[in-house]
Amino acid sequence: MGINKLLYLIFWYIKIKFFNKKIPLQTVIFITNICNYNCKHCCVDKTAPTKMTFEEVKEHLIYSYKLGSRFVDFEGGEPIQWSDGDKNINDLCNLAKEIGFFSTTVTTNASKDFSFVNADHIFISLDGLKTHNFIRGEQAFENLSKNIKNFPSHNKVSANMVINSINKNDTQNVLNFVEKSPYINGISFNFYNPVNNDNTLCVKNKEEIINTIIKYKKKGYKIINTKTGLNYLKNPTFPKTCFITNFITADNERYSGCPNSPNHNCNICGLGMAGEMKALYDFSLETILSGIKLRLTK
């Protein structure tokens, strides 16, 4: 990590911690809500198929950069299927770097070959071994297993699991799968957040599962969540610092913080990111080092 990036991060923290500035550090842009899957836990509104144009993404990137953000995640829908004329996801990653973002991330369901993606980091959605296909669709796990082998830089690929009432008993199987896989660098965990007040997929024994994840992390398993962030999720009434990430949805709506917050009870939030942002705000050294390793050393 260069000295200029380090200085920026130091001064960013001073501003948000000691001068109460609400400056984002990370941007999540849902460039499309179009997807080839219809996952049971998905919170993306797909009633009106939408995708941003290249110029719209450019405008949002410049806007977010001026706010202070320096890390950008491109999400969907399925972002690697995004295109605008002859532009594809790589053009967006290149554009972000040209504007000045420190790193780019793309989150994919890994149903298609993603070996061409030049983002600094790739997150693949992995929702179980036995349960992945049930949640995402026929052959989903088999497609994922095939496509992760084709990506040329395995240290750039991580998995993300959304734990819900369907796959909660598959968590340890996923941990062991990722630990043994030479193609996956690590895994992050989130818990299902109710969509339209539908609690049927909510997990009731969240604390027990978190304790299990922490136990495996202490054993050295490749878990991206920090112990500090995970402990916050045990009692999610903790004060949120979600301004650290600004969100932009496929319909071009901009949010300073979680786009679900106006219609969602933040006191039941299960997003791992929420715990990590609070840990960062509290200057958890574990979280800071984990973030640098994930975002700035690949």
- Rounded to two decimals, the pTM is 0.95
Q: Is residue 219 part of a domain?
A: yes
Q: Is residue 4 part of a domain?
A: no
| Residue 251, pLDDT score | 95
Q: Is residue 74 part of a domain?
A: yes
Number of domains in the chain: 1
CA dist list (Å): 221 to 25, 73, 215: 27, 24, 9
Q: Is residue 210 part of a domain?
A: yes
Q: Is residue 12 part of a domain?
A: no
Mean pLDDT by 10 residues, the chain (298 residues): 92 97 98 93 81 98 98 97 98 98 98 97 96 96 96 93 96 97 97 79 94 98 97 92 96 90 73 96 95 82
| Residue 264, pLDDT score | 65
Q: Is residue 5 part of a domain?
A: no
| Residue 198, pLDDT score | 73
What CATH number is given to the structural domain containing 123? 3.20.20.70
| Residue 48, pLDDT score | 85
| Residue 195, pLDDT score | 67
| Residue 236, pLDDT score | 84
The parent domain of residue 28 ranges over: 21-296
